[in-house]
Amino acid sequence: MARMDDRQALEFPRAAYARHVAAVAATWEATLQGAGFDAVAVPAGTSPWYFQDDQGPPFRPNPNFAQWAPIAGAEGSVLFFRPGETPRLLFHQPADYWHLPPALPDWAEETFAVERHASAEALTAALAKHTAGAGRVAYVGPPAEGASNLSFAATNPEALLNPIHYARAIKDDFELAALRVAAAFGARGHLAARDAFMAGASELEIHLAFLAASRQTDAAQPYPGIVGQNEHAGVLHYQRYDAAPPPRRHSLLIDAGRQHLGYAADITRTYSAAADEFAELIAALDAAQQALIADIRPGVSYVDLHEKMHRSVGELLARFGFVSCSGAAAFESGITDAFFPHGLGHLIGLQTHDVGGWMAGADGRLAPPPERYPALRFTRFLEAGQVFTVEPGIYFIPLLLDALRGDLRGDVNWAKVEACLPCGGVRVEDNVAVTADGVENLTRDAFARLA
């Protein structure tokens, strides 16, 4: 398959977006009517300043706003929707010489009834006029922003949000296209990170190589990237970047992503510095992950996939000699929980950990994870159009392994386990989309195009 052409990939898909907005409007219209509301105000949100400072964290839009309008720099803007009318975008475009004022893309002009407002006060006044004669208006956004200044029938009502969040798991053509582009640039970054690691780079240098190749800034990432060498690979959400390379290199675990038009890619790869048994473990977990993904199709329970992966982890622990019992016994006794302590994956889209993973229906009923797997973020049955991650791991974390030193001590080959402590652990993560009869692996396809 040909290498992605950047200009073509980044060209805004107007036709798909028009269909997307029409579908979003239809979903919100039906949900508003079902919940007893006549209109809705959806703010993009703002970034608060740090305490006693005049700066703040990078702006992250309200995902309910971004679903309608994936506009960079829409801070302070509001989407107002009343069924039967063109969605109205109250765009905050301040006159500012300290910062570059936000620009409104032409496709937004084609999609919304646009109002530009130079101040938050003018925008709020305009919103008040629109809501005054609109009947029961719901407010969906950060409660502290605007809801207290205007009269709304309800703020973030569950009767409205539950169906919206449940439906967000199913991606349309516009969303899938955005996710593919995010995966493509993310894969570039991962290959550059791998090459930097093999060349002896530090965690910071690997992180910078990832950013450069994936063409993004730190602030633009969908989540702070995890770049862990050696034992840092065993810290699940490792949050630092050592500026100096370690005295001896064993492993690299990089969990880093990219976003495009608000939609996130979340990719993890693990590498060994040598062609050793740890490299074989990485390859074996990768193969087990791919075998599991091959089983994905509509109607499958994600909880069943998670448990099947635990059984596979048990088999790998036995095959590589980390346990003296069988793989089945390692699963049944709970040994696998110490080596694979997190969930198999999560929904992904407008948020890295997208909403609705525990929802059993549009009415808000929940399907919580089994007691044994409290960290599992996704418990739904699979449906065509869902996009989620599949990210099994095998880790050597002293805090968790110490719990096995009781009744299960004799089932663990401690010398073998302790020899792997300097490597931290292995995780392999792909983003997949369920199709009508199987699965599309967005991540593997992206890497294949770069081969």
Please write the tens of the pLDDT for every residue from 206-241.
999 999 999 999 999 999 999 999 999 999 999 999
Q: How far apart are the first and last CA of the chain?
A: 9
- The predicted-structure confidence for 416-446, as pLDDT tens digits, reads as follows 999 999 999 999 999 999 999 999 999 999 9
Residue 439 phi, psi dihedral angles, 5° rounding: -150, 145
Q: What average pLDDT does range 157-163 have in this prediction?
A: 97
- Give 344's Cβ-side CA count (13 Å radius): 28
Q: What average pLDDT does range 389-415 have in this prediction?
A: 92
pTM > 0.75: yes or no: yes
How far is residue 388 from each of residues 108, 133, 286, 347, 440, measured CA to CA in Å? 28, 41, 17, 4, 11
Residue 16 pLDDT greater than 70, yes or no? yes
Question: By percentage, how much of the chain surpasses pLDDT 70?
Answer: 98
Q: What is the reported pLDDT for 407?
A: 75
Length of the chain in terms of residues written: 451
- The predicted-structure confidence for 278-310, as pLDDT tens digits, reads as follows 999 999 999 999 999 999 999 999 999 999 999
Q: Which domains does the chain have, with CATH numbers?
A: 6-157 (3.40.350.10), 173-449 (3.90.230.10)
Q: What average pLDDT does range 40-48 have in this prediction?
A: 95
CB atoms within 10 A of CB 399: 9
Q: What average pLDDT does range 24-34 have in this prediction?
A: 98
Q: What is the reported pLDDT for 405?
A: 87
Contacts of 226 (CB under 8 A, 6+ apart): 237, 238, 239, 253, 254, 255, 256, 268
Residue 100 pLDDT greater than 80, yes or no? yes
Q: What is the reported pLDDT for 2?
A: 42
- The predicted-structure confidence for 320-352, as pLDDT tens digits, reads as follows 999 999 999 999 999 999 999 999 999 999 999
